[in-house]
């Protein structure tokens, strides 16, 4: 079977270079071209990875027949580019949160629907074996009824975007917002998936420390799901540079019959999940530490990214749908928008469970 040709739109981002090892690990895909308005970035990327380089993505999609368009453009620019790519028959991988607002995501979804192309976003935490084990315990009832959850994601200070040629991430008009837009969507999507439920109410609070940019540095939220679980999120750009791996990550779930707790190491290969349960399965050892060893792999999110892309290739070959859909991306961003609305209005915001 012929390989699926990939074009990368946007190199002024932290991830495109680190996606190359995982694209190359999935033999179904071949990255053939990349485009960025910065000539130096386009030239160096093309030289380093042996792909055709363009300074205008429009020229690239006119010249190249792409099976998959991978978009890493400023969030506000993704809808226009995605619509154009879908119109040429390309499937779409749009970096989260997919757009600077939910209207942009809806525009992308409609373009993909009309063109009959697949649309996905890399919410790759769903592929982590610890997350899959957590979901199994929840489904098996080891935790009883889920009452409260926590999610913490502090990932580097603002300068990393400047150093990584992605200063646009610090401009609200281009990015949509601060850490909750860029990082919080991961935990929102993951808790939707873990709980198999939708957010119906949010309360948010944003804290701004920097005075140079119009985004917040810290975002906090309480998410209430339709079956009563409450998730507390602490998402920020203020972790110290000296912090291990540059990220402070945590996930926890507490139910009427048990607890799950995990501090992910992000791209590490050794992970440990703490489980405490009153269920019969745990009668002999109600408190356990379960160790996981992942296959080491270079690139963004390591082996998780490989599994995500392999699944996407399979969906394209089979005619879809992908495991992570445009609707998943939209639901995450709708929650983020409600968090920002709540922070501005200083009150809780209601979200219908079927808000898509």
pLDDT digits (tens, 9 = 90+) for 163-217: 999 999 999 999 999 999 999 999 999 999 999 999 999 999 999 998 899 999 9
Q: Write out pLDDT tens, residues 289-332.
A: 999 999 999 999 999 999 999 999 999 999 989 999 999 999 99
Q: Transcribe 206-223 into DSSP letters.
A: EE---SSSSS-SEEEEEE
- Mean pLDDT on 229-252: 92
pLDDT at 65: 97
State yes or no: pLDDT of 157 exceeds 90: no
Res 267: pLDDT: 77
- What's the mean pLDDT when you consider all of the chain? 96
Residue 149 clears pLDDT 70, i.e. is over it: yes
Question: Mean pLDDT throughout 10-16?
Answer: 97
pLDDT computed for residue 353 by the predictor: 67
- Measured distance CA(115)–CA(310) in Å, rounded: 23
**Spatial distance between the Cα atoms of 259 and 138, rounded to a whole number of angstroms:** 10
Per DSSP (E only), the strands in the chain are 4-9, 29-35, 52-54, 68-71, 91-94, 119-120, 146-155, 199-207, 218-225, 230-236, 247-255, 258-262, 270-277, 287-293, 349-350
Q: Which pLDDT value is given to residue 320? A: 87
103-140 burial, b for 16+ CB within 10 Å, e for fewer? ebbbbbbebbeebebbbbbbbbbbbbebbebbbebbee
156 — pLDDT class (breaks 50, 70, 90): confident
**In this model, does residue 114 exceed pLDDT 60?**
yes
- Asked which of 22-26, 139-143, 183-187, 245-249 is least confident by mean pLDDT, the reply is 245-249
What band does 347 get if pLDDT is binned at 50, 70 and 90? very high
**Looking at residue 246, what is its pLDDT?**
84
Write down the pLDDT at residue 355.
Answer: 52
Tell me the C-alpha to C-alpha distance, in Å, between residue 146 and each of 230, 249, 257, 258: 8, 21, 9, 9
**pLDDT number for residue 354:** 62
- pLDDT for res 352: 83
Question: Which pLDDT does position 19 carry in this prediction?
Answer: 98
For residue 261, pLDDT over 80 is answered with yes
Per-residue pLDDT tens digits for 26-76? 999 999 999 999 999 999 999 999 999 999 999 999 999 999 999 999 999
Q: Which domains does the chain have, with CATH numbers?
A: 4-124 (3.40.50.720), 125-303+332-350 (3.30.360.10)
């Amino acid at each position: 079977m012929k390989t699926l040709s990939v074009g990368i739109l946007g190199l002024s981002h932290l991830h495109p270079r680190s996606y190359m090892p995982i694209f190359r690990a999935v033999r179904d895909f071949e990255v053939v071209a990349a485009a960025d308005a910065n000539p130096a970035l386009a030239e160096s990327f093309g030289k380093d990875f042996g792909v055709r380089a363009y300074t205008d993505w429009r020229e690239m999609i006119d010249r190249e027949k792409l099976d998959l368009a991978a978009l890493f453009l400023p969030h506000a620019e993704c809808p226009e580019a995605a619509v154009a790519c879908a119109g040429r028959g390309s499937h779409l991988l749009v970096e989260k949160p997919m757009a600077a607002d939910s209207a942009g995501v809806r525009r992308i979804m409609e373009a993909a629907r009309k063109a009959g192309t697949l649309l996905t976003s890399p919410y790759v935490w769903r592929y982590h074996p610890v997350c899959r084990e957590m979901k199994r315990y929840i489904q098996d009832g080891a935790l009883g009824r889920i009452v409260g959850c926590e999610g913490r994601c502090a990932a580097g200070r603002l300068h990393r975007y400047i150093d990584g040629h992605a200063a646009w991430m610090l401009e609200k008009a281009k990015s949509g917002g601060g850490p909750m837009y860029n990082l919080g969507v991961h935990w929102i999507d993951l808790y939707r998936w873990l709980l198999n439920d939708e957010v119906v109410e949010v309360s948010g609070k944003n804290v701004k420390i920097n005075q140079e940019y119009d985004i917040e540095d810290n975002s906090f939220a309480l998410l209430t799901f339709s079956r009563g679980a409450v998730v507390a999120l602490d998402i920020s750009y203020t972790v110290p540079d000296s912090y291990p791996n540059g990220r402070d990550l945590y996930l926890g779930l507490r139910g009427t019959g048990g607890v799950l707790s995990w501090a992910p190491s992000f791209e590490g290969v050794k992970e440990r999940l703490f489980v405490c349960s009153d269920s019969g399965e745990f009668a002999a050892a109600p408190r356990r530490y379960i160790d996981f060893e992942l296959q080491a792999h270079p690139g963004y999110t390591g082996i998780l990214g490989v599994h995500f892309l392999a699944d996407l290739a399979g969906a394209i070959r089979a005619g879809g749908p992908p495991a992570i859909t445009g609707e998943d991306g939209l639901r995450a961003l709708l929650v983020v928008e409600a968090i920002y609305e709540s922070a501005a209005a200083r009150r809780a915001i209601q979200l219908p469970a079927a808000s898509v």
